[in-house]
Amino acid sequence: MRYGTLLCILVAGVFVANYARDRLVDKPVKIPPAAAGKAADAPRPIKENVVAFTTGDAAMNAAKQKAKSTLSRFRELAAKRTPGTYTVKFPLTQNGATEHIWLQVGDDRGTEFAGRLANDPVNGTKYRKGQSMTVPASEVEDWMITDGSKIYGGYTARVAIAQLPNEQQAKYRAMFQD
């Protein structure tokens, strides 16, 4: 009887250890292969609101450049107290993988933005939605101000929206203000 109980406990322990390894371990998300009929470097949906683009994606790189060159517009709109939620996008690396994630800005300190992560990262568990962070202004890849009906900035989001069905694309495109 004692051996049976021990075996049951041992099996349960192995199951829990394997579950933790597979589900809870801090590791980057797996990027799926390109969809049938798509180019090898085509954007790939990871989960809702997360799309993987290659580092060489010309449209995404142009959007990042546009955002960087218009960061002063973000600051002008903030100074005017434009209604909305203020966010900046930046690269976040953990577990050897980089994702590009939004920070809800609480304070613009000139050389850096302070705020809270607006999303849960997909490449690990070191960071979580709502966590306080600072981001150097030099690392900002995009900016956005939205009040639910209008969107200022959001240049990388505009590129990602192109992956949505046409009716959803039209809805979001109508919200952009510049």
Domain residues of the chain, as ranges? 44-173
Q: What is the pLDDT of residues 1-48, one digit of tens each?
A: 343 333 333 334 433 344 444 445 566 556 556 667 666 666 555 555
pLDDT tens column, 38-68: 666 665 555 555 666 667 778 888 999 999 9
pLDDT of residue 56: 78
Interval 94-143: pLDDT, tens:
888 888 899 999 999 999 999 999 988 887 889 999 999 999 999 999 99
Q: What is the pLDDT of residues 144-159, one digit of tens each?
A: 999 989 999 999 989 8
Instruction: Give the gyration radius of the chain's Cα atoms.
Output: 21
- Report d(CA 91, CA 94) in Å as an integer: 10
pLDDT value, residue 140: 98
What one-letter code names the amino acid at 13? Answer: G
Pair 154, 176: CB distance under 8 Å: yes
Look at residues 27, 21, 34, 57 and name the one whose alpha carbon lies nearest to residue 121. 27
Q: Note whether 97 and 79 are within 8 A (CB).
A: no
Q: What is the pLDDT of residue 1?
A: 39
